[in-house]
């Protein structure tokens, strides 16, 4: 009976291992992907009666990628196609164009335009868009096809909503504005913008130069006032935010008396001070040169403190403002291509194949 139980246990363990191996997603392959080669674009012949302006408009494919919008204007020799996805909605118009008095009408929708070398200003539906020339119809339509909705696969999720793109990969993520160049380079940039969580915090410091420079002045949102410590190391400035908040980075605006080495620490649930970030070599100062300090990981905390370890001058540690924000600034750059119904993403030397959600 014991022998049977042991055999059964071994079989179950083997089955679980097999099931685990089968269910685990395969890691994406190394990036040996080669983008599809597109044939050089050949301008279609246009009826002479359409005029030179129509020739300038329809002799090349156009793409629009700006202000969170993506679209394309293309012509296949017979029909014009206008596709647009923008914060104000989406539009898809296709039909045989008609021209009269400088206006192109496609399926009842009017278009006015002005071509300027490699650019075109296109007005339709009460809005004006700046279009740029593309080398092929596929290139022109890439932004419209890819940068809208949610895509996922190979452990990656990439989504677009209005002017914001979000990328999630494992335990990493970034959210922010995006740009897409004609060569397929997608950049997502996140900055330390939003609500300053530190403004108005209750503050105390273990070192003050004079009563004219108390620590509260570095948490009041006023860049004409500042905190300054006595001429010694180290110094500590502690801020109580009033309640627990999610914090991902700090931004410091140092006075001429800057800190060359400092830490940002937070108090955890066990009432212990834990390092969130450590800057060892700083030389920046001035309101126009803020020091942005991303945390190792976003933290949940009510109390945060600045620890000035080493002064950069003979004076004290002094800063106009210490700000706290939820999101961590950064940039993610990748190549994106459309292949059938998939988005192919080349990121950090790996190839990801994503499909669009319903």
Q: What is the mean pLDDT of residues 99-104?
A: 92
Sorting pLDDT into bands at 50, 70 and 90, what band is 14? Answer: very low
Q: Is the pLDDT of residue 194 over 70?
A: no
pLDDT (tens digit, 9 = 90+) per residue, 61-87? Answer: 999 877 568 899 999 989 999 999 887
Contacts of 289 (CB under 8 A, 6+ apart): none
102: domain CATH number is 2.40.128.50
In terms of domains, do 85 and 139 share one?
Answer: yes
In terms of domains, do 163 and 248 share one?
Answer: no
Higher-scoring residue by pLDDT: 223, 116: 223
Q: Name residue 317's beta-bridge partners.
A: none
Is the pTM higher than 0.85? no
37: in domain: no
pLDDT recorded at residue 357: 85
In terms of domains, do 135 and 173 share one?
Answer: no
Residue 336 CB coordination number (10 Å): 22
H/E segment holding residue 160: strand 156-161
Question: Which segment of 40-44, 255-259, 272-276 scores lowest on mean pLDDT?
Answer: 40-44
Task: Note down the domain range covering 174.
Answer: 149-191+331-356
Q: Is the pLDDT of residue 5 over 60?
A: no
Give the full edge-to-edge strand order of the sheet including 89-95.
89-95, 80-86, 69-75, 62-66, 127-133, 119-124, 109-116, 103-106, 98-100
In terms of domains, do 53 and 91 share one?
Answer: yes
* Residue 137: φ, ψ to 5°: -65, -40
| Angle at CA of residue 93, ends 90 and 95, nearest 5° | 175
DSSP state of 218: G
In terms of domains, do 216 and 282 share one?
Answer: yes
Q: Is the pLDDT of residue 190 over 80?
A: no
Cα(293)–Cα(165) distance, integer angstroms: 23
Domain count, the chain: 3
Exposed, middle or buried, 95 (CB in 10 Å: 0-12/13-18/19+)? Answer: middle
In terms of domains, do 97 and 178 share one?
Answer: no
Q: Name residue 75's beta-bridge partners.
A: 80
Q: Is the pLDDT of residue 43 over 70?
A: yes
In terms of domains, do 293 and 226 share one?
Answer: yes
pLDDT winner (highest mean) among 80-84, 129-133, 286-290: 80-84
pLDDT recorded at residue 103: 95
**Whole-number Cα distances in Å, 42 to 47, 65, 344:** 16, 23, 26
Q: What is the mean pLDDT of residues 19-37?
A: 58
Cα(32)–Cα(162) distance, integer angstroms: 32
299: in domain: yes
Q: What is the mean pLDDT of residues 24-43?
A: 67
pLDDT recorded at residue 15: 40
pLDDT recorded at residue 105: 97
In terms of domains, do 172 and 268 share one?
Answer: no
């Amino acid at each position: 009976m014991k022998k049977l139980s042991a055999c059964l246990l071994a079989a179950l363990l083997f089955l679980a291992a097999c099931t685990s191996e089968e269910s685990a997603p395969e890691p994406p392959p190394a990036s040996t992907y080669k983008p599809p080669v597109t044939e050089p674009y050949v301008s279609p012949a246009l009826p002479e009666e359409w005029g030179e302006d129509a020739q300038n408009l329809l002799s090349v494919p156009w793409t629009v990628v700006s202000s969170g919008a993506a679209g394309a204007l293309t012509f296949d020799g017979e029909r014009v196609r206008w596709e647009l996805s923008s914060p104000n909605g989406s539009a898809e118009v296709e039909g045989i164009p008609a021209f009269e008095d400088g206006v192109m009408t496609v399926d009842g929708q009017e278009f006015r335009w002005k071509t300027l070398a490699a650019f075109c200003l296109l007005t339709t539906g009460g809005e004006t868009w700046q279009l740029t020339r593309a080398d092929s119809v596929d290139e022109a339509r890439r932004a419209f096809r890819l940068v809208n909705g949610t895509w996922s696969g190979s452990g990656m999720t990439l989504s677009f909503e209005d002017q914001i793109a979000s990328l999630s990969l494992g335990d990493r993520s970034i959210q922010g504005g995006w740009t897409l160049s004609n060569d397929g380079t997608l950049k997502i940039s996140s900055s330390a913008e939003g609500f300053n969580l530190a403004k108005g915090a209750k503050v105390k410091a273990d070192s003050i130069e004079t009563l004219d420079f108390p620590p509260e002045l570095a948490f009041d949102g006023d860049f004409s006032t500042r905190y300054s410590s006595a001429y010694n190391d180290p110094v500590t400035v502690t801020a109580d935010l009033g309640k627990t908040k999610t914090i991902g980075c700090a931004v410091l605006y140092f006075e001429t008396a800057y800190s060359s080495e400092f830490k940002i620490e937070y108090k955890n649930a066990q009432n212990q001070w834990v390092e969130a970030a450590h800057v060892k070599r700083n030389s920046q100062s001035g309101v126009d040169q803020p020091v942005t300090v991303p945390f190792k990981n976003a933290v949940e905390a009510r109390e945060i403190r600045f620890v000035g370890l080493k002064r950069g001058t003979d004076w004290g540690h002094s800063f106009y403002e210490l700000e706290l924000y939820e999101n961590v600034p950064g940039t993610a750059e990748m190549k994106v291509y459309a292949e059938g119904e998939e988005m192919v993403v080349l990121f950090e030397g790996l190839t990801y194949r994503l499909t669009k959600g319903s």
